[in-house]
Structure 1
């Protein structure tokens, strides 16, 4: 059997549940490619290409792309910032849809966005989900994700567009492996590592003068440009014939019809300290773009300009109107309107789901501008508002997903946290926003907001309990640990050591996990927190359970149980009885397990706020009855537990129940049903990054993969 922290009775659980639409994959350690055969519901066809910007007179580059893709299958489009690499590739790709009937995948890799480049594992996760694999089934590790992605696209005529790459190492895991698929990469770097792998290269330079004038005419109207041909020529040269700089300058003119080209040229001339770089090729790319963005920013209404600057402080990538309102201090309706102004000014990109992000270069400009114009105390206030709002949102999600946890009430942080109808919705939000929550927690630490950083980590716990072991979990928990230590709060430190101990356990590092848990235990004892010390002993019991040391596990669980009974803590008595029951089942003592688990069920039925453990004890009781050769009772109990896990959106709990149902089916000689249950459970576990060894053995014994 396997097990999960606070969960079922079978070691590290790697489970899957829910309704699937298409193939289901599950793996722990994958070496080499995985090949998928057979029919079933076809995978979805992704159409992810964003709408391209204006493109003029790039026929030579488009023809080169045609040749390179046909000859190499992998092409790097490289050139200066703002030179039009993305526009070129998107126009080319949209003109070749028939060549790639199985879909087009797109990812912005944020190579020069002012934040850390997009991790390949996260990009692969998005790709795999877009190909029809539910998020809870996506493996945690980079290697597993890359292998699954290659398997999903094998034999498909599909295009992958990787925009703004930072390095070859970032790109390589994202490349499709088989014939028929192609990848086009844009980057300011030439990416010699990809050239060594046989990539073709298209180098994009500035527009010719005629093409630059055509671009300006397309944006402003050819008649307006034609009336002032000389000034238009001066303007395109001041903009270094950069498509992005010209587009931003044209947007400024279009937004102010009373301005002439001569007015804009004079305004550019007044900025010679910045625009002088336009005439110096080795002065760097940013000066050209920065000058154009500065003009666009200066034309914004005051409040839109303040919002734009505040977004330069946002530590993540994508944000919604609530986050923008918190950061800027604007009321939510006004923040939405102001985001529309920034979108119209071509400084902002509107994403699906009513989310936004600054264009990469605009974000760099906003970061510089907020430092130049806003005093340190104003910037600190903006960060504090964002941290407090994020904390309020995560605490609200925690309350919806795990109401039995007694955490502080959320701070009063306008515009108010999101509302969650149920636990599943809260978990969905936590999963989607985890990259932002992680980035905000780090920024809180950097800003000295250690209490908030600690609470952000603490409140996010339901995500890991119900949706599996994220690859980023240990680092995130260590942010909370560092914050607790900076506060000098020994209670919080011990709590975070419990968290890092469980994270290390989930990563298969039991010795390191034991070190952190023993350190936590020593702190609890010094603090006189006997119940908390009992909780840490429960966790040490889980490590003994993992090692197969049932005597050690029973001893640790028994010691914890004694403390909880003495304290009158019925809920933790019940949870510890669940742990003890799992160990007794593994030890072949089913009658004793039924007795202890029955008591746990009675205690948990008196609480209405712990649906997870109410479902979990049913699954464990089902296992115990199965060991007593009572399969009908066992199956009824486990099915009820499975329904409970699905109701709260707990993928890990669902997989645990499916594993037990597989055992029950096998016990009754229903081999096909057992195989199906094991495969479902295995897929969930692989997606959650949990070990699948036990299920692998089960399937191998049945002649499965």
Structure 2
């Protein structure tokens, strides 16, 4: 270090740290150190030193200050440093390791990356080293003008943010007792900072001080409501509810009826994803006792158990039943995913499972990273310090499971698989629980409970034998027995035996799957014709679950009969409900249904059914996309199915449907941040468009790929895709989409530092959109022209472009574009010192972003509003705006935005492309 800002200003003289004697020289040096390597204009320096009381010869006086400062610096051996005179001002050249504030920034950034990657030790070490650089208030001996006071405030905010992250790292490492005292001191100093209260409540709770944790929540709520008139934020409320829920669970276990123990309703951000507890669960006493050891294990590793066994043996039922028994021990929630490892279709990949988990944990689509390693790291971060139960059902391989493991021992994991997953046991320390067929006594007890206690012991024993003592087969047999109450169980067992003989399965060496197949076949024979046909058609369905509308399309019937068929199949235990009005099928039954569809349905019937299904999704998807306010929920629910339908259509002879569905999904996948899905969908659409020679669809696919890669920051690939799209839109004469593509290219050039190329793209887009009467694209182009003009220092031109954009968007009633223009106009006014006007623009933009539900825009408006409020001297309002912005940036996963909340130079506008 050669310069110290984090405390009184000091310069290294070769032997010791020396102060700068003259106050004016301290101001000049501080201004140059705020932006080392950048020219600080003479006018800014004069304004900072004297403000409105400038002496007549301010310029020569300033040159004298600089001369004496240069002599001071030249007398000290500051390697690589120099104070340079430039045409418009002065520049201090200093390396990144020469200024303590820059070292602080580097260490904090490294600590945050380590925290996100799950390396708590390194995070705490880096953050501790960063905080140790502080020797008191920043620039404590420097007279403050408008720039320095803002920078000092930003440095102090950065110090506080790093302190909060340091406490997060300590919590990540389980050092709850050690950090409580520091957190109590911090909340006393910064009572309006909710994240500190969150950490204090969590530390007290994890230390077993539940009453103190609830008292800390009450103190936080009292302060926030009294000072700000606001209730605590969602995360803090979630903590309180989780603690109350755990207290109730403990009381329930003691059979307490005290109404005071009733918790608040569980918050939506505490996931409760377990499927329904299997009805009439019977037996498995030893296995349940073994699983109970998971919650009593006391180590710092993730405790994982693999339940392995043959298909249909009851692995999922055991895992889910046990999970419901111990759910109260995991107050931070329960995550569940069916990895579909043995489905006839493609198993779920770990990236898709992680996306589902992160969504359940409260992350918006855009906050979810694209790559597997990044998603896994973010997942470990999100569950760190929580106590959660994670059920990974129906896994096919270690590769599917390993990225889904949390990094700390506060969580428990149960995996079910037909495979032994030996690598998970050997390398990751998982325990294995081998599940065999139900013991005969338990199998008879289960069947007896399912059929209502019929006193037919011989018939019961025969049915148990014919069912292979497999719970899945027993449930199907029981439902058929209940539907034929006029037949004895012995007669039914004989009928099943006949079915087995007809299928020639008795010589299968006792393979339990042979018994299951026989039971399935026997059950299907006794279904009503419409339900039997529905079951076969479900074997064609490419998605994970379906509703009555999808089955109606497959079966060419109305949704009413389709719903009745689904209910019949559910009662027969051939389907199960995954959510309201949605149904899925066990992987064994799915494979069986697919086989029946291949053998029992005519090829023309199969193709006609799929044609109707794909037509349905194109029609319904188009309607949903045209009504984004009401259609978003449908697209959210059907997204995984639609992505699979595009793949199936592209691969099996429906390229036009693949192209049309990709177009329907473009905006939803982009706005939701489902970038992995978007890459797959647009790639399939590109290949399908090429197959049928549809040049317009080809261009749209390249555009979709280009925009997605732009979001992901893979700029070289984005450029290639967008240039191909631009060329093809020109060939087809699609000028409107040519403008959209040119806007995206301008954004790419702006992001990669090619400001002149970006300005040329935006200018051309503005002219073309004006000729076309495309006011929406014209507004985007004007906003971006304003941004690049502002960045180039042409503030009058920037204000003209942005003001024009505001006027057009108001006339259109386009709130989102109006907000984009206003927030950037606010930044521009702030740069020009028009703080009251800037605050008005930011507040108007904030209200508009909230009305349209744009969380990223809301955070950006709050950040800029905080800067303006700080400049106006409204420190309390600024602190609230910064913290709200930071919380939203953190929630949506925008690390750049989160970091900018501590950077006074971060109010740089962001370009828009669509």
Q: Which band: TM-score by shorter chain?
A: 0.7 to 0.9
* CA drift at 1:395: 1.5
* CA drift at 1:235: 2.9
Instruction: Please state if 1:343 is matched with 2:576.
Output: no
2:370·2:712 contact (CA, 8 Å) conserved in 1?
Answer: no
C-alpha distance 258-143 of structure 1, shift in aligned 2 (>3 A): same
C-alpha distance 131-526 of structure 1, shift in aligned 2 (>3 A): closer
C-alpha distance 673-128 of structure 1, shift in aligned 2 (>3 A): farther
1:622·1:638 contact (CA, 8 Å) conserved in 2?
Answer: yes
1:616-631 matched pairs, under 5 angstroms:
616-631=820-835
Moved more, 474-483 or 187-196: 474-483
Q: In structure 2, what is the equivalent of residue 649 of structure 1?
A: 853
Q: C-alpha separation between the residues in 2 aligned to 1:447 and 1:602?
A: 50
Q: In structure 2, what is the equivalent of residue 696 of structure 1?
A: 899
1:274·1:287 contact (CA, 8 Å) conserved in 2?
Answer: no
Q: C-alpha separation between the residues in 2 aligned to 1:685 and 1:472?
A: 23
Question: Aligned to 2:841, which of 634, 637, 651?
Answer: 637
Question: Aligned to 1:181, which of 408, 411, 430?
Answer: 411
Q: In structure 1, what is the equivalent of residue 624 of structure 2?
A: 397
* CA drift at 1:554: 0.7
C-alpha distance 623-98 of structure 1, shift in aligned 2 (>3 A): closer
Q: C-alpha separation between the residues in 2 aligned to 1:75 and 1:540?
A: 50
Q: C-alpha separation between the residues in 1 aligned to 2:785 and 2:701?
A: 24
Q: C-alpha separation between the residues in 1 aligned to 2:735 and 2:292?
A: 70
Moved more, 523-532 or 324-333: 523-532
Structure with max Cα Rg: 2
Q: If the length of structure 2 is used for normalisation, what is the TM-score?
A: 0.66
Q: In structure 2, what is the equivalent of residue 60 of structure 1?
A: 286
* Aligned Cα root-mean-square deviation (Å): 3.1
Q: C-alpha separation between the residues in 1 aligned to 2:673 and 2:331?
A: 34
* CA drift at 1:676: 5.5
* Cα distance per residue 1:376-434 (max 9 Å; x no partner): 22222222222222222221222123xxxxxxxxxxxxxxxxxxxxx2x4334323322
C-alpha distance 79-571 of structure 1, shift in aligned 2 (>3 A): closer
Q: In structure 2, what is the equivalent of residue 236 of structure 1?
A: 464
* Cα distance per residue 1:185-216 (max 9 Å; x no partner): 11111111210111111111112333322322
Q: C-alpha separation between the residues in 1 aligned to 2:662 and 2:586?
A: 29
* CA drift at 1:178: 2.6
SS at match of 1:472: helix
1:213-292 matched pairs, under 5 angstroms:
213-226=444-457, 229=458, 231-272=459-500, 276-277=504-505, 280-281=508-509, 286-292=513-519
2:294·2:412 contact (CA, 8 Å) conserved in 1?
Answer: no
Q: In structure 2, what is the equivalent of residue 308 of structure 1?
A: 535
Q: In structure 1, what is the equivalent of residue 117 of structure 2?
A: 31
SS at match of 1:41: helix
Q: C-alpha separation between the residues in 2 aligned to 1:79 and 1:109?
A: 16
Q: In structure 2, what is the equivalent of residue 212 of structure 1?
A: 443
Q: In structure 2, what is the equivalent of residue 6 of structure 1?
A: none
C-alpha distance 526-42 of structure 1, shift in aligned 2 (>3 A): closer
Higher RCO by CA contacts (8 Å cutoff, separation 6 or greater)? 1
SS at match of 1:513: helix
Q: C-alpha separation between the residues in 2 aligned to 1:249 and 1:471?
A: 42
Q: C-alpha separation between the residues in 2 aligned to 1:479 and 1:686?
A: 33
C-alpha distance 702-498 of structure 1, shift in aligned 2 (>3 A): closer
C-alpha distance 445-674 of structure 1, shift in aligned 2 (>3 A): farther
Q: If the length of structure 1 is used for normalisation, what is the TM-score?
A: 0.84
SS at match of 2:116: coil
SS at match of 2:456: helix
Flag structure 2 segments of 5+ consecutive residues without an equivalent.
Answer: 1-111, 121-167, 172-198, 202-235, 240-266, 907-914
* CA drift at 1:501: 0.9
1:646·1:654 contact (CA, 8 Å) conserved in 2?
Answer: yes
Moved more, 667-676 or 117-126: 667-676
SS at match of 1:115: coil
Q: In structure 2, what is the equivalent of residue 363 of structure 1?
A: 590
Instruction: Please state if 1:598 is matched with 2:794.
Output: no
Q: C-alpha separation between the residues in 1 aligned to 2:739 and 2:689?
A: 21
2:280·2:446 contact (CA, 8 Å) conserved in 1?
Answer: yes
* Cα distance per residue 1:295-318 (max 9 Å; x no partner): 222221111222222222221112
Q: C-alpha separation between the residues in 2 aligned to 1:699 and 1:310?
A: 57
Moved more, 180-189 or 77-86: 180-189
C-alpha distance 363-473 of structure 1, shift in aligned 2 (>3 A): same
C-alpha distance 670-437 of structure 1, shift in aligned 2 (>3 A): farther
Question: Aligned to 1:41, which of 208, 213, 237?
Answer: 237
Q: In structure 1, what is the equivalent of residue 748 of structure 2?
A: 543
Q: C-alpha separation between the residues in 1 aligned to 2:551 and 2:392?
A: 27
SS at match of 1:574: helix
Q: C-alpha separation between the residues in 1 aligned to 2:338 and 2:498?
A: 35
SS at match of 2:238: coil
SS at match of 2:390: strand
Q: C-alpha separation between the residues in 1 aligned to 2:874 and 2:505?
A: 75
Moved more, 353-362 or 141-150: 141-150
Question: Aligned to 2:641, which of 436, 445, 456?
Answer: 436
Q: C-alpha separation between the residues in 1 aligned to 2:509 and 2:417?
A: 18
Question: Aligned to 1:83, which of 291, 313, 316?
Answer: 313
Flag structure 1 segments of 5+ consecutive residues without an equivalent.
Answer: 1-25, 402-422
* Cα distance per residue 1:130-151 (max 9 Å; x no partner): 4455666555554444444434
SS at match of 1:105: strand
Q: C-alpha separation between the residues in 1 aligned to 2:272 and 2:736?
A: 54
Q: In structure 2, what is the equivalent of residue 513 of structure 1?
A: 718
Q: C-alpha separation between the residues in 1 aligned to 2:719 and 2:828?
A: 29
1:329-478 matched pairs, under 5 angstroms:
329-401=556-628, 423=629, 425-468=630-673, 470-478=675-683
Q: C-alpha separation between the residues in 2 aligned to 1:98 and 1:632?
A: 52
Question: Aligned to 2:430, which of 191, 199, 210?
Answer: 199
Q: C-alpha separation between the residues in 2 aligned to 1:694 and 1:560?
A: 28
* CA drift at 1:128: 4.1
C-alpha distance 102-592 of structure 1, shift in aligned 2 (>3 A): closer
Moved more, 518-527 or 461-470: 461-470
SS at match of 2:689: helix
Q: In structure 1, what is the equivalent of residue 105 of structure 2?
A: none
Q: C-alpha separation between the residues in 2 aligned to 1:113 and 1:69?
A: 31
